[in-house]
Amino acid sequence: MRALSVLVSTLLVAPTSARALAGAAQNRKSRDDRLDIVAPAAIDASHKLKGYGPERAVDGDERTFWLVPGGQRMEMMSRDKWLTLDLGTARKPRALDLLGVVNSFGAARVLLDVGNSQDGPWKRAGCFRAFGSPMRWQRVELGRDVPTVRYMRLFVRREGHATFQHKVHGVLVHCDKKLG
């Protein structure tokens, strides 16, 4: 019964509009005044479908999303799905807020790499499960040893069956405040 009440409360508080996205970011920001919330730019991705491109993951509208379709041939499905994000300037990331969903039996395995060039070299900063069902904002805390970086790359690993697809609706990055 407790699991059901948690599920219902998650569904009831999930933001559903661009205004709610801004409000959710502001609420998260107010919890820790030492951090800025950065809305990164999506600068590259493994999949760029018309109308569902990587820019949709960071456009501030929770109704739009970056889509990696399922039902592809197995050799296409065996590749990782990745999204490269630009923080705009070098920052020290502390946490991610992610909104998305996968049509698999459980949340996807996500790897986070960071670097100071969009072409690498990359350093692994984390590995976690994300984009479960139902769709809700998920905060992922990063370790204290994540360096100051400009670029981040999310890898969504293939899980389960050939119809695996994922939709990323939102990404926010909590970073140390800029000095000066």
**Total count of domains within the chain:** 1
Report the percent of the chain where pLDDT is more than 90: 45
Q: Which residues pair with 81 in a beta bridge?
A: 156
Residuewise pLDDT in 10s, the chain (180 residues): 333 333 322 333 333 344 444 455 555 544 667 889 999 999 999 888 899 999 999 999 999 999 887 655 544 554 678 999 999 999 999 999 999 887 776 778 889 999 999 998 999 999 988 887 778 899 999 988 899 999 999 988 765 554 567 889 999 999 998 765
Range of the domain at 162: 2-176
**Quick one: CA torsion of 72, 75, 80, 83, rounded to 10 degrees?**
-50
CATH number at residue 87: 2.60.120.260
Strands, E assignment, 53-117: 66-68, 81-91, 93-102, 108-115
Element spanning 31, H or E = helix 18-31
Q: How far apart are CA 39 and CA 86, in angstroms?
A: 9
* pLDDT at residue 137, rounded to an integer: 92
Look at residues 48, 41, 130 and name the one whose alpha carbon lies nearest to residue 85: 41
Q: What are phi and psi of 139, to 5 degrees?
A: -100, 130
96 and 140 Cβ atoms separated by less than 8 Å: yes
Question: How is residue 168 written in tokens?
Answer: 């990323």
DSSP codes of every residue in 107-138? PEEEEEEEESSTT---EEEEEEEE--SS-EEE
Query: How does pLDDT run across 92-132, given as a tens digit for each residue?
Result: 999 999 998 877 767 788 899 999 999 989 999 999 888 87
Question: How is residue 27 written in tokens?
Answer: 């609420």
